[in-house]
Chain A
Amino acid sequence: MTQPIGELWVYLSASPLLGLTVTLLAYQLAHSLYLRSGQHPLANPVLIAVAILAGLLWLTGTGYETYFAGAQFVHFLLGPATVALAVPLYTQFRRVRSMLLPISAGLLAGSATAIVSAVLIARLFDADLATQASLAPKSVTTPIAMGIAEKIGGLPSLTAVLVIFTGVLGAIIAGKVFAIARIGDPAIRGFSLGVASHGIGTARAFQIDEQTGAFAALAMGLNGLLTALLLPVIANWLFQ
């Protein structure tokens, strides 16, 4: 009986069906744990799902490329989802327009802080240049960050991972940080989360309420734009 099972595994591991199904199941399991924990930030569903999937790949000796052949269908939806952020943004536009000054100032300061502090801290602890360059765009959404990393001498696939862990970290600690710093305005909370933690921060912000989410979405889009324009210029100075 072992022969058919072996053949079945050969078939399944080569088909995109398995990678896709496992991704959805791992996320649902992670999400139900998150809900059961009372939406505790530490039980972040992305973190748990990634841990489950990485464990499964390791246990079954499956390569990431094989897994991604299936998971790419989920990954692809990042594009339309980014476009869809225009809807909450439109709904909150009145508030956005009344806050043009704080938004521009906060964006510039936050974006520069995210880049420079990440690179300098990594350098202080002896990370090599490729790691430093991969860290620089960590606060912007995956596709933008990967494109920038490639331009400035980082490793795009490492950047994708760092981007996601930045998002998870931001989603976990933002509530505590805002409480200690006594930041209560949902617009400011949302915008800061979006600047620091892009889409995953935005996902967390939408769980709080729509206004927080819309400002996070706005920040994520603007920081993506600004970092894409700024970082290739700053990199000359930062990595000389």
Chain B
Amino acid sequence: MLAALSLLLVCQLCGEVLVRWLALPVPGPVAGMLLLFLLLVLRRGPDEELRSTSQNLLKHLSLLFVPAGTGIVLHLDRVGEQWLALLLSLLVSTVLTLLVTAWVMHLCTRSKP
């Protein structure tokens, strides 16, 4: 687990350095994900340790969003004033995004032989 965790952190670190150095508009962790992906292509797949460590980390991915979500306490006034606009915007936009993405993909899949 330790080696796999270190590998994840090294990829993230390299990602952060690369992003800053080349002034890329992407965050470090996403660059780190691409780096690890390239490494997996070179190595022809993850070893058992990396596979189980990443599985464990991703199993509780939702937990990692809780601290930022609790930040709602900083914005109770604004949310209270504009709750209708916020709720409708989030709800309708999320449904539309799901539908548009799925339909466009569906159409492109069918039109292919």
Chain B associates with chain A? yes
Show the binding face of A for B, using Cβ within 8 Å.
23-24, 26-27, 31, 44-46, 49-50, 53-54, 57-58, 64, 67-68, 71-72, 74-75, 77-91, 99, 101-103, 105-107, 109-110, 113-114, 117-119, 121-122, 124-128, 131, 135, 138-139, 141-144, 147, 155, 157-158, 160-170, 173-174, 177-178, 181, 183, 185, 188-189, 191-193, 195-197, 199-200, 202-203, 206, 213, 219, 221, 224-225, 228-229, 232
Map CB proximity to A onto B4-22 as digits: 1 under 8 Å, 0 otherwise. Answer: 0100110110010000000
A84 vs B30: C-alpha distance in the bound complex, in angstroms?
Answer: 10
Size of B's binding interface in residues, CB under 8 A: 74
Chain B residues within 8 Å of A, Cβ to Cβ:
5, 8-9, 11-12, 15, 25-30, 32-37, 40-41, 45-46, 50-51, 53-55, 57-75, 78-79, 82, 84-86, 88-106, 108-109, 112
- Judge whether A67 and B70 touch: CB under 8 Å: yes
Give the CA-CA distance A77 to B54 in the complex, in Å: 12
Say whether B91 contacts A169, CB under 8 Å: yes
Q: Which residues of B contact A143 (CB under 8 A)?
A: 27, 29
The answer to whether B71 touches A161 (Cβ under 8 A) is yes
Bound complex: CA of A101 vs CA of B29, how far in Å? 26
Q: Are B89 and A79 in contact (CB under 8 A)?
A: no
